[in-house]
Chains A and B, each alone.
Chain A
Amino acid sequence: MTEPLLHAGTARPGDAGEEADPDVEHPGGFWSDAWRRLRGRPLFWVASAIILVLLVMAVFPSLFTAVDPRAADLAGSGATPGPDAPLGRDLQGRDVYARAIYGAGPTLAVGVLATLGTVLLGALAGLLGGYRGGWPDSLLSRFAEVFAGLPFVLGGIVILTTYNPPGQLVGESRLVVQVVATIVVLSWPMAMRIMRAATITARDQDYVRAARALGAGRLRVVFRHILPNTLAPVLVYATIQLGAFIGAEATLSFLGIGLKDPVVSWGVMIAESQDRVAQIPHAILFPAGFLVVTVLAFVMLGDAVRDALDPRGR
């Protein structure tokens, strides 16, 4: 379901080859038709280009900067953008540009993985609950309400301090996994509700009854006939949540339970510099700018994908 989100950056060369097939007569399936429509949208290519750059930045930060993001030069604390530090220095005298580049990886990892996890878990639960109805649906919904009822910050503190006592040093990847898991556990009920509502709507449509009347099995009905008709709202939710999750990661960092030194993330940078917005504005503006562009790119991608998934078009 979020598959296009994942592969969009790499432009799915396999599909492009298939489409070049001279046999134009056969109608594609849901995905290949959607992919054909997607290719025709400039919005998709712009978003993909931005996301591709961000991904390269995340994987190979050293391509973009030779400066150590952790090197602190207190003499240059709060220095404005200049030749030796293109985006200036923060309170600790660290190079903002280098930190923003190195922050892309953890930021995107948390944002993308948390979105994927939330949507996959929530959508699956919503799809099954909504289609099955009856007591399994009630049970699942009540279960989801327990998690939805936990305040995010409180839940985050409980989960992260339990698995990660204060003062203990943990590796970057373990920290990322913990933060992602925390966000997913506390956020999946919303995705489930959206998917459940969409599924209930689709379940009672005549085309579902027609599919059953022609002998479609239960799995086929759920995954081939209902699922494609429920993707749009979840996709919109996912692209908006991506930005929110990056923000949530910053909240956890600010509380000292999320990503922390030596890991750099935009959320961490924003959280660190928000006390001195007036004195060192560039320290918050630039990471926030990166964040805005990233979220915008994913929203555009989500928009393009959603439009492509709807054959009725605009």
Chain B
Amino acid sequence: MLGESGSGKSVTAQTVMGILDAPPGRITAGSVRFRGEELLGADPERRRLLRGESMAMIFQDALSALNPVYSVGFQIAEQFRFRRGMSRKDATARAAEMLDLVRIPNAKQRVKEYPHQFSGGMRQRVMIAMALALDPDLLIADEPTTALDVTVQAQIMDLLDEQRRERGMGLILITHDLGVVAEVADRIAVMYAGRIVEHTNAATLYARPAHPYTRGLMDSVPRVDDAGGVRGAPLRPVPGLPPSLTAIPRGCPFHPRCAYAQDVCVDEYPPLREVEEGHAHEAACHFAERFVAEGPDRPATQEVVSG
């Protein structure tokens, strides 16, 4: 799930998990289905038991997501003790195994340590170990690598990818990093102003983006093989700022920032619709077909603006 800050990625994840703060948050409509089971409006106790057991979540900042007053071993063991009824000793042994699994060196010693004694990357590993403890079917990773430096990012993504394959677990990766998404994702949903504006498989999205916002995001990534290879070529951001969610623009919410905006974009809200048969390619743009047709040999957004 891709989008810039404030586009509603985390809120979506929290809604799926059922941990949205009820005031001020409110679910007005829609549906959350897990293995065919409707979760919205389900018994809260049923949802609580699904959490951890069937779906788990990891957070951007592992330091604040780990309780500072408990040792990491205690926090992982807590699930084994109270969800699996294990003794404290067995649960701690299992916790050490989990730490070993996420490749924390010297796991047996480190179960006793506290979150502040771990480095950023190690903390995120602890967080992953905690989330995987009860072997969930779905893991939601909310910007798991944003707070980490680049080399550690790669290690964490490898770890997540490996665990996903080994466990046959679903992974919803929330990020604003297009590179990370390209490597890991099968399907990508691009969010803007609280809605999904484009949704398809990874290959199609990168080859034939159907929404100008997706295009803008891709064009904004600096590339080594930049056109002309001119040094000092300016970066190409998506112009403007994401709208405040209390004042989403009329019509297409992206129109104030869109290089291709027409009158219809100001007046009519474009619903998410199928734009390319056979590719399960959905987009919310009045001119999606045109963009799909242009494919990869398209002018960059900025050239359109200046031209």
Binding site for B on A (CB under 8 A): 23, 25-30, 33, 133-134, 205-207, 209-217, 220, 224-225, 228-229, 309-312
Contacts and interface: CB of A to CB of B under 8 A. Distances in A.
Size category, B interface? 35 or more
B68 A229 contact: yes
Contact of A215 (B23, B53, B108): B53
6 closest Cβ pairs, A-B complex: A215-B52, A215-B51, A214-B52, A206-B65, A27-B71, A213-B57
B79 interface: yes
B148 to A, nearest CB: 15
A140 to B, nearest CB: 16
Contacts of A311: 68-69, 71, 114, 116
Given A205-B64, A215-B49, A133 B74 contact: no
Nearest to B59: A206
Nearest to B130: A214
Contacts of B82: 220
Contacts of B77: 27
Contacts of B172: none
B19 interface: yes
A209 B65 contact: yes
Contacts of A27: 71, 73-74, 77, 92, 111-112
A58 to B, nearest CB: 33
B51 A214 contact: yes
A214 B134 CA distance: 9
A134 B21 CA distance: 12
B70 A210 contact: no
A270 to B, nearest CB: 40
26 contacts: A25-B93, A26-B73, A27-B71, A28-B71, A28-B74, A207-B65, A207-B67, A209-B14, A210-B130, A213-B52, A213-B57, A214-B51, A214-B57, A214-B131, A215-B50, A215-B79, A215-B83, A216-B52, A217-B48, A224-B78, A228-B69, A229-B67, A229-B68, A310-B69, A311-B114, A311-B116
Nearest to B83: A215
Contacts of B64: 205-207
Contacts of B210: none
A296 B108 CA distance: 41
B56 interface: yes
Contact of B71 (A33, A205, A228): A33
B223 interface: no
B25 to A, nearest CB: 12
A197 B283 CA distance: 46
A224 B52 CA distance: 17
B61 interface: yes
B21 to A, nearest CB: 8
B192 to A, nearest CB: 24
B100 to A, nearest CB: 14
Interface string B72-91: 01100111001100001100
Contacts of B112: 25, 27
Contacts of B53: 215
Interface string B1-45: 000000000000010010100010000000000000000000000
A23 B67 CA distance: 24
- Which of A30, A133, A311, A312 has its CB near the most chain B CB atoms (within 10 A)? A311
Given A29-B70, A214-B133, A312-B116, 4 more contacts: A213-B131, A311-B68, A311-B114, A311-B116
Interface in B117-161: 127, 130-131, 133-134
A227 to B, nearest CB: 10
A21 to B, nearest CB: 10
Contacts of A214: 51-52, 56-57, 79, 130-131, 133-134
Given A213-B19, A215-B50, A220-B82, A26 B69 contact: no
A204 to B, nearest CB: 8
Nearest to A205: B64
B302 to A, nearest CB: 37
A210 B57 contact: yes
Nearest to B66: A207
A249 to B, nearest CB: 34
